[in-house]
Amino acid sequence: MTTPPITHLLYLHGFRSSPQSAKARRMAEQMSKHFPQVCWWCPQLPPSPREAAALMDRGTRDWPTDRMAVIGSSLGGFYATWLALQRNCRAVLINPAVFPARDLAKHIGEQPAWHAPEERFYFAPAYIHELQTLQDDAQGEPHETLAFIAKGDEVLDWREMTARYPKARQVVLEGGDHALSDFDAHVPAILDFLGLP
């Protein structure tokens, strides 16, 4: 059975990141130039995981689940997993955070925004509990997942990522980095997975 092409696409950035990330801008450009019929949404996510989840839920509530997909990088990959399980939709994960409650516990406090270091936000201790709650809700694996996992990721352990998504179509990259700096090379595979010719 052929998977229908998506009509709605959500991109979720990582911790301290924004819609100005290179990957988000590249996908926005692809949609604008080649797939203007696709509803594209890349929101700035609030620091609170509970508020981020509520934003994603509200924004995609009326989207057709068989024709929507979510792309997430790092913490956004964790959120994308959560949302794809809620919506039963396709997910593209880029070096997804597997245990964000554990990993972000050391980042409590004031943080600079990656693309605008002069802007700062406060990552509160309560957010770790919010992440754990979402993690408890995100057991299992989205039914259609494409995961890009770089062995050279300097932030997350690639072995944890591969173990977390055993049923996914995994692209395990020798070397590479957390940002997936060669993202452009993987765009055709993403578009194919999304059913976009």
- Whether residue 117 lies inside any domain: the answer is yes
pLDDT > 70? residue 114: no
Assign 78 a pLDDT band (cuts: 50, 70, 90).
Answer: very high
Considering the chain, what is the average pLDDT of its residues? 92
Using one digit for the tens of pLDDT, what is the confidence trace for 4-62? 899 999 999 998 888 999 999 999 999 999 999 999 999 999 999 999 999 999 999 99
Q: How many domains does the chain have?
A: 1
pLDDT > 90? residue 2: no
- Whether residue 3 lies inside any domain: the answer is no
- Whether residue 31 lies inside any domain: the answer is yes
- Whether residue 114 lies inside any domain: the answer is yes
By CB atoms closer than 10 A (0-12, 13-18, 19+), residue 180 is: buried
**Beta carbons within 10 angstroms of residue 143's beta carbon:** 12
pLDDT number for residue 1: 43
Report the C-alpha gap between 175 and 65 in whole angstroms.
34
pLDDT number for residue 74: 95
CB 9 within 8 A of CB 68: yes
- Whether residue 1 lies inside any domain: the answer is no
Domain span at residue 119? 8-193
Secondary structure of 14-79 in the HEC alphabet?
Answer: CCCCCCCCHHHHHHHHHHHHHCCCCEEECCCCCCCHHHHHHHHHHHHCCCCHHHEEEEEECHHHHH
- Whether residue 171 lies inside any domain: the answer is yes
- Whether residue 51 lies inside any domain: the answer is yes
* CATH number reported for the structural domain that contains residue 77 in this entry: 3.40.50.1820
pLDDT number for residue 100: 93
Average pLDDT over residues 81-93: 97
Report the C-alpha gap between 134 and 126 in whole angstroms.
13
Report the C-alpha gap between 152 and 90 in whole angstroms.
26
How large is the angle between the packed helices 75-87 and 126-137, nearest 10 degrees? 40
For the chain, percent of residues with pLDDT exceeding 70: 96
Average pLDDT over residues 141-146: 93
- Whether residue 113 lies inside any domain: the answer is yes
